[in-house]
A and B are shown apart, each in its own frame.
Chain A
Amino acid sequence: MTETIDIAGVEKRFGRTTALAGVTFGLRPGITGLLGPNGAGKTTLMRMLATVLAPDTGRVRILGLDPSVAAERLAIRRRLGYMPQEPGFHRNFTAFEFVDYVAILKEHVDRRARHAEARRVLELVALGDVSQRKVKALSSGMRRRLALAQALLGDPRVLVLDEPTAGLDPEQRLRFRELVSDLAHDRIVLLSTHQTEDVAALCRSVLVLNNGSTLFEGTPRELAELARGHVWLADDRAAGAHLSWRTGEGRHRHVGDAPAGADLASPTLEDGYLLLLGERPLKEAA
């Protein structure tokens, strides 16, 4: 089975709104970060890759399989772990019961093996100690980890994670990075997030969507390099800067044209992303 995801010319409209307008990209094993502002089409794309939404036009191949063909869609679903942006939970289930329930729906029919698998994934996300606690009694961070746990059931070849680190505290985020980076060496992980530092820390490649179109596809380093020569440190706010904010050290960090007396700074992935989404066209920024 081909360990790739290929998307070509995918379009999706909801009424008059175009959610995706001819998106094309390819994914290989490793973590790919999906960045974009709200309404960029990230969640639509994630839902498409999770086989819950079909494109209007275009070609989608997941592990070489066509999700528009029922039998192939089923084969994809058997190799897929999906964490929705707003995962719902059965609040009166315990954490273990919820994961066990999803495991049954993932066709883990041997009860003993299924229970062992449920315990394994709960341990992976550090919820082993609270596995008998009802979902309604878990904190929001714990619930996100529970959502991640169910996605990991059955060691899926493809992981589609929609904002998995939202609501996690710094320690939990680091644990998440550790876990996902361990998992990703031999499988495809698509990680949609607003946290550029997660992308910088984890991802082999990055995709930026805006208004339903692919704005950037490359490595995190290449995204950061877009801002090289456009990031400055100065003592005062510059009127001409695309973005400017006062840092903890008291100096102003500018993204855009150089203000008077400014020092050139090393760009981060966030700088590249901000510049990419700014008013300047990509070629001008580059």
Chain B
Amino acid sequence: MTSVAVNSQQLAPTVWQLARVEGRRLLRHPVVLVAFVLCAVWMIALAKGLVGGDYFAVAGPGLLPVLAALVAANLAALRSRRSDTEELYESLPSPERTRTLAHLLSLGWLFGGSAVFVAAAFVGLGGLDGFVIDFKGTTAVPSVAELAQGPFAVATVAAVGIALARWIPFLPAAPVLAAGLVVFQMPATTWNLQNAWTWLLPLVNAAETPPGTSFPCDRPKEGVGWCGEAVFQTTAAGWHLAYLAGLGIAFGTVALLRHDRSPRTIALGATGLAVAAVAGVVQIP
């Protein structure tokens, strides 16, 4: 007895109340908190020149909250299974679909938290170094589309975590996927910056690097330095957001398909996938 005809008048408020609880718990999750703290420390160290400025060092901090979101959302969606509350929950009026929907909506809180973090980093780092983006001292202010990449990536990858929990409900699945993301993200952003497929990863940056190096702007040695074009690809970043949003909707739908295979849900998933496909191709500069 898993599927239940749900009174839609009751479903919406139940989902929102549950999403509110889940969202707050997600933001307070130790993995998420630690990731944000480490990310902040890493970014400050970068801005103060305490750590090397190779490309992964620049892109790496953003990856921490993304990975944390994946793991925390997965753990939250697996909670009833981990805690053996499935039997109790099955006897309640709200079906599992309600909980899945609430977990997906709770990502709004994570998105909001990430946005606040990015805004704080924007203000803080601007105050620290005036947005210096290379060793020549070039300054540039990132666009909103680029700044929004962080919260979008966090929410999208967290949706992957929820889909994973619904289809592969095993605890190690999310950490393994997180490790996989690091494995793909690191070489992509460190050694193959100009490869088109790097744009399919959650976090990208359009800055160019000297051939054969991972530094957007190589540290000058004995007066000889090289700097790539330290430019921001605002248009590409905008398409990347659409790509992430499409992926997020697609993975969210994959999670929902576990309980709800209505034409409306399938259409939503197909739309998300189409947006991700189109934006995924168009975004490549």
Q: Are A105 and B7 closer than 8 Å at their CB atoms?
A: no
Q: Looking across the interface, which residue of chain A has its beta carbon closest to that of B12? A: A109
Q: Looking across the interface, which residue of chain A has its beta carbon closest to that of B87? A: A84
Q: Are B1 and A73 closer than 8 Å at their CB atoms?
A: yes
The smallest C-beta distance from B90 to any residue of chain A, in angstroms, reads 4
A281 within 8 A of B: no
Q: Are A74 and B14 closer than 8 Å at their CB atoms?
A: no
Q: Are A109 and B6 closer than 8 Å at their CB atoms?
A: no
Q: Which residues of B contact A106 (CB under 8 A)?
A: 92-94
A53 within 8 A of B: yes
The smallest C-beta distance from A222 to any residue of chain B, in angstroms, reads 31
Q: Are A82 and B91 closer than 8 Å at their CB atoms?
A: yes
Bits for A98-136, please: 1 = Cβ < 8 Å to B, else 0: 001110111101010010000000000000000000000
Q: Are A53 and B14 closer than 8 Å at their CB atoms?
A: no
Q: Which residues of B contact A71 (CB under 8 A)?
A: 5
| CB within 8 Å for A70 and B17 given contacts A90-B83, A91-B83, A102-B92 | no
Q: Which residues of B contact A50 (CB under 8 A)?
A: 87, 90-91
Bits for B85-125, please: 1 = Cβ < 8 Å to A, else 0: 11111111110001100000000000000000000000000
The smallest C-beta distance from B13 to any residue of chain A, in angstroms, reads 4
Q: Looking across the interface, which residue of chain A has its beta carbon closest to that of B80? A: A88
A254 within 8 A of B: no
Q: How far is the CA of A285 from the CA of B10 in the complex (A)?
A: 54
Q: Are A105 and B93 closer than 8 Å at their CB atoms?
A: yes
B59 within 8 A of A: no
> Contact size class for A?
20 to 34
> Contact size class for B?
20 to 34
Q: How far is the CA of A84 from the CA of B85 in the complex (A)?
A: 9
**CB < 8 Å neighbour of B87 from A52, A70, A73:** A52
Q: Are B1 and A88 closer than 8 Å at their CB atoms?
A: no
Q: Are A74 and B4 closer than 8 Å at their CB atoms?
A: yes
Q: Are A70 and B4 closer than 8 Å at their CB atoms?
A: yes
Q: How far is the CA of A133 from the CA of B172 in the complex (A)?
A: 29
| CB within 8 Å for A51 and B85 given contacts A67-B1, A104-B17 | no
B195 within 8 A of A: no
Q: Are B5 and A109 closer than 8 Å at their CB atoms?
A: no
The smallest C-beta distance from B177 to any residue of chain A, in angstroms, reads 23
**CB < 8 Å neighbour of A52 from B7, B17, B91:** B91
Q: Which residues of B contact A105 (CB under 8 A)?
A: 14, 18, 89, 92-94, 98-99
| CB within 8 Å for A107 and B3 given contacts A77-B91, A90-B83 | no
Q: Are A77 and B83 closer than 8 Å at their CB atoms?
A: no
Q: Which residues of A contact B4 (CB under 8 A)?
A: 70, 73-74, 77
Bits for A38-52, please: 1 = Cβ < 8 Å to B, else 0: 000000000100111
Q: Which residues of B contact A91 (CB under 8 A)?
A: 83
Q: Which residues of B contact A70 (CB under 8 A)?
A: 3-5
| CB within 8 Å for A102 and B88 given contacts A74-B6, A107-B93 | yes
Q: How far is the CA of A89 from the CA of B99 in the complex (A)?
A: 16
The winner among B14, B91, B93, B99 for most chain A CB atoms within 10 A is B91
Q: Are A87 and B85 closer than 8 Å at their CB atoms?
A: yes
**CB < 8 Å neighbour of B84 from A78, A86, A114:** A86
B79 within 8 A of A: yes
The winner among B13, B18, B85, B92 for most chain A CB atoms within 10 A is B92
Q: Which residues of B contact A77 (CB under 8 A)?
A: 4, 91-93
B282 within 8 A of A: no
The smallest C-beta distance from B98 to any residue of chain A, in angstroms, reads 7
Q: Which residues of A contact B1 (CB under 8 A)?
A: 51-54, 67, 73
The smallest C-beta distance from A67 to any residue of chain B, in angstroms, reads 7
A80 within 8 A of B: yes
The winner among A51, A67, A77, A100 for most chain B CB atoms within 10 A is A77
Q: How far is the CA of A73 from the CA of B91 in the complex (A)?
A: 9
The smallest C-beta distance from B193 to any residue of chain A, in angstroms, reads 41
A205 within 8 A of B: no
Q: How far is the CA of A86 from the CA of B83 in the complex (A)?
A: 11
Q: Looking across the interface, which residue of chain B has its beta carbon closest to that of A160? A: B91
Q: How far is the CA of A73 from the CA of B79 in the complex (A)?
A: 25
Which chain A residues (1-59) contact chain B, with CB distance < 8 Å? 47, 50-54
A150 within 8 A of B: yes
| CB within 8 Å for A88 and B17 given contacts A74-B4, A74-B7, A105-B93 | no
Q: How far is the CA of A68 from the CA of B84 in the complex (A)?
A: 24
The smallest C-beta distance from B92 to any residue of chain A, in angstroms, reads 4
Q: How far is the CA of A223 from the CA of B73 in the complex (A)?
A: 53
| CB within 8 Å for A88 and B85 given contacts A51-B1, A104-B18 | yes
Q: How far is the CA of A47 from the CA of B91 in the complex (A)?
A: 9
6 A-B pairs with the lowest CB-CB distances in the bound complex, closest first: A88-B84, A109-B13, A88-B85, A70-B5, A82-B91, A52-B90
Instruction: Identify 16 new A-B residue pairs, CB closer than 8 A, beyond the known A52-B87, A91-B83, A105-B98.
Output: A52-B91, A53-B1, A70-B4, A74-B5, A77-B4, A77-B91, A80-B91, A82-B88, A84-B91, A87-B88, A88-B88, A89-B83, A90-B85, A97-B21, A106-B94, A109-B14
